[in-house]
Structures are given as C-alpha cells and as structure tokens.
C-alpha cells in the first residue's frame, strides 16, 4: 500500500495520495511510516529534477502534496501528544534556504512531545537565531536546510551562537543533504535524520 502512495505522489495524483494516506491510517499504518513513504517519493522527484526530467512546478506541486498529507497526519499524531513540558527549542531553516515542509514537521513533532517551540521560519540569518535564543532562554536550537548552499549558513549560525557566549546551547541540524560529515563541518552538536531523531536528541538534552 505504501508503494501505491509513493506512486501517487510521484505521478502527481494529489487526490489519490490523500485518499491512500487516509486508507493507510485506517488500516493501522503509523504516521511515521507514511512520512517515510513521502520521503521516498520526494527523493524520486528530487532525482528527476536533478536529471532534468522534472522542473520547478513539479517540485512545487510535490511540496503542496506533502503539506496536504502532513495536514491529514497531524490530527492523528496529536492523539499521542505529551502533556509534560520539557523545555524550549528554537527552530528555523537557515539563511538562503526556503524549504520549510520538513522544518514544519520537526516543529510539530517537538511540540507534540512537550517542547515549547519558537519557529523562526525560513531564510533565517545567524543573528536572528542568536537574538531569539537570548530572548527565550532556549537551551536547544534546531537548524534545517536542504541545499548544499545551506552548509555555510549552518556553520555561520553555529559559530554565531558560540561567539555570543551561548556555549551551553545544544545545536542539532537536519535536512535532505545533511549528514554526519556536515555536522562535523558546521560544528553542530548532533545530526538528526528525521523528526523523531530531533525529538530523541531534544529529550536527551532537556
């Protein structure tokens, strides 16, 4: 069934994709498995874009489908929300990058799991992160980025947070192209593969 969902997304059949999402949920599939299928579909569309078989409108439509699917998943996930308050987290997509679907999922999952999240949105300059960490007193920061061009702004943001004397603030990074090597390059404290990893890291640090 999740292959059918992947096919519906990659063939840009939004209505079918939403119908299949609901069917998967009704048959007991977990929202995180459905998100996994969406990621696989996005990877296919991304690869097509890379080889010139898909273009910006397809990326945009894929983004819209992804937003619609997360809209269906959110109420189901809310049923498992935690009432416990664990701490504050500042999250944003770094400067120069406007991909926000994944960042929104990370914010939503942190919120569900008891964190007070300040979502700075997209294209966030390093100084905005610093200012917000100071204002909120958050001890955890999450940086999201999907572009290769996001590596340096991530590195600059980590450096700006440290330079502001906020050494006790833990920084996690994530997003499409990010991996352990990029974590090392940026000087961040941890890399998280998905929103559940973001929650696990934040819980470890709370």
* Choice from 71, 135, 163, 177 touching ligand B12 (CB under 6 A): 177
Q: Considering only residues 16, 116, 189, 194, which one is a binding residue for ligand B12 as defined by CB under 6 A? A: 194
How far from 180 is each of 4, 9, 58, 77, 198, CA to CA, in Å? Answer: 32, 29, 30, 28, 14
Q: With CB under 6 A as the rule, give the number of residues binding ligand B12.
A: 42
Instruction: Choose, by CB under 6 A, the member of 94, 97, 107, 133 that binds ligand B12.
Output: 97
Which position's Cβ is nearest ligand B12?
174
Decide if 154 contacts 173 (C-beta within 8 A): yes
Residues 104-123 that bind ligand B12 (CB under 6 A): 105-106
Should residue 20 be labelled a site residue for ligand B12 when binding is judged by CB under 6 A? no
Stretch 39-78 residues interacting with ligand B12 (CB under 6 A): 39, 42-43, 45-47, 49-50, 56, 59-60, 62-63, 66
- CA torsion 70-74-77-82 (nearest 10°) is 130
Closest approach of ligand B12 to the CB of residue 137, in Å = 19
Q: Which of the ranges 8-16, 77-85, 95-103, 126-134 carries the binding residues for ligand B12, by CB under 6 A?
A: 95-103
| Rounded Cα–Cα distance for residues 152 and 165 (Å) | 20
Minimal distance, residue 85 CB to ligand B12, in Å? 20
The answer for residues whose C-beta is within 8 angstroms of residue 13's C-beta and 6 or more apart is none
Footprint of ligand B12 (CB under 6 A): 35, 39, 42-43, 45-47, 49-50, 56, 59-60, 62-63, 66, 96-103, 105-106, 142-144, 146-148, 172-177, 192, 194-195, 197-198
């Amino acid at each position: 069934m999740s292959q059918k969902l992947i096919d519906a997304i990659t063939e840009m059949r939004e209505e079918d994709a939403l119908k299949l999402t609901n069917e998967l949920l009704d048959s007991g599939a977990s929202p995180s498995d459905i998100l996994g299928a969406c990621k696989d579909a996005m990877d296919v569309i991304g690869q097509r874009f890379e080889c010139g078989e898909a273009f910006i409108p397809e990326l945009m439509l894929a983004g819209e489908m992804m937003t619609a699917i997360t809209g269906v998943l959110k109420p189901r996930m809310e049923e498992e929300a935690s009432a416990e308050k664990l701490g504050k987290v500042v999250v944003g997509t770094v400067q120069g990058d406007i991909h926000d679907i994944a960042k929104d999922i990370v914010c939503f999952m942190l919120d569900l799991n008891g964190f007070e999240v300040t979502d700075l949105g997209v294209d966030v300059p390093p100084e905005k992160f610093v200012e917000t960490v100071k204002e909120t007193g958050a001890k955890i920061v999450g940086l999201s980025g999907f572009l290769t061009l996001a590596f340096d702004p991530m590195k600059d943001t980590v450096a700006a947070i440290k330079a502001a004397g906020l050494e006790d603030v833990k920084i996690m990074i994530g997003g499409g192209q990010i991996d352990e090597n990029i974590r090392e390059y940026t000087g961040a404290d941890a890399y998280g593969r998905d929103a559940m990893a973001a929650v696990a890291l934040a819980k470890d640090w709370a």
